[in-house]
Amino acid sequence: MQKFNCIIIEDEPLAAEILEDYVLQVPFLQLKAICANAILATEILRKNSIDLIFLDINLPKLKGLDFIRTLHHPPRIILTTAYHEYALQGYEHNVLDYLLKPIEFSRFLQAVNKLNTPAIVTNVALPEERKYQFFNVNKKMIKVFFDEILYIESQREYIKICTKAQDITTKLALNEIEELLQNDNFLRVHRSFIVAKDKIEAFSATEIDICGRQIPIGRAYKEEVWTVLGN
């Protein structure tokens, strides 16, 4: 089996750790280095034969797209970023793929399989995917699985994410988390609340019951709630 030497350029330790774990699960990838910025990666590329770079766009010192422009004969590049607006610029640089964070293993595997023949697919077993996100809580990144969320409550510039196991508070707008979830299971029921539909135990014209907690239904959301839940 052909091996592809790769490096990860990522300044967020948790994001780098996830990518490292993914790379180690793929038999045809050989991880050579993890670099916190593109300047460090330049030295790695000078001393090693690298076939693939996992490159974050928003890097310190030298941005990812600017780094690509410095390479005379770049290896294959997979961009990894939380910002979809750079996709067009990325493909203008002939990147292999463009992965949006949080990156699922199945999507990662789809990208790296472009390096080789389709036979590679049979060599890696796909784990059962559970969507999750890391949230900053008191300078510590806490993993929250989407399927464990009961509801989310807005608290001005913060949100409280409630699960059976814990409640966490992080600095994020409710509209931002609503866009991040992008899941049919979540429903906005109030200007301050998003609920998980599969966790709803009962509902009335004015409130929703989830695990013994009462969530108000906003007047502006009442018609949509009844349309979704009443069918």
State if pTM tops 0.75.
no
Catalogue all structural domains in the chain, each as residue range(s) with its CATH number.
Answer: 4-123 (3.40.50.2300), 134-229 (2.40.50.1020)
- For residue 118, pLDDT beyond 50: no
Q: Sheet containing 207-210: give its strands across.
A: 202-203, 207-210, 213-216
Task: Report the pLDDT value the prediction gives residue 36, as an integer from 0 to 100.
Answer: 94
Residues 59-93: pLDDT tens digits?
Answer: 988 998 889 989 888 899 999 988 776 556 656 67
**Which residues make Cβ contacts (< 8 Å) with residue 117, sequence separation at least 6?**
none
**pLDDT-based confidence at 5, cuts 50/70/90?**
very high
What letters, b where the CB count within 10 A reaches 16 and e where it falls short, cover 164-184? eeeebebebebeebbeebeee
**pLDDT-based confidence at 122, cuts 50/70/90?**
very low
Task: Report the pLDDT value the prediction gives residue 24, as an integer from 0 to 100.
Answer: 94
Report DSSP letters for 68-121, one per residue.
Answer: HHH-SS--EEEEEES-GGGHHHHHHTT-SEEEESSPPHHHHHHHHGGGS-GGGG
Report DSSP letters for 121-139, one per residue.
Answer: GGGSPPPPP--EEEEEETT
Integer Cα distance of 38 and 55 in angstroms: 9
- For residue 123, pLDDT beyond 90: no
Integer Cα distance of 10 and 91 in angstroms: 19
* 72 neighbors 48 (Cβ within 8 angstroms): no
Highest mean pLDDT among 34-38, 57-61, 84-88, 97-101: 34-38
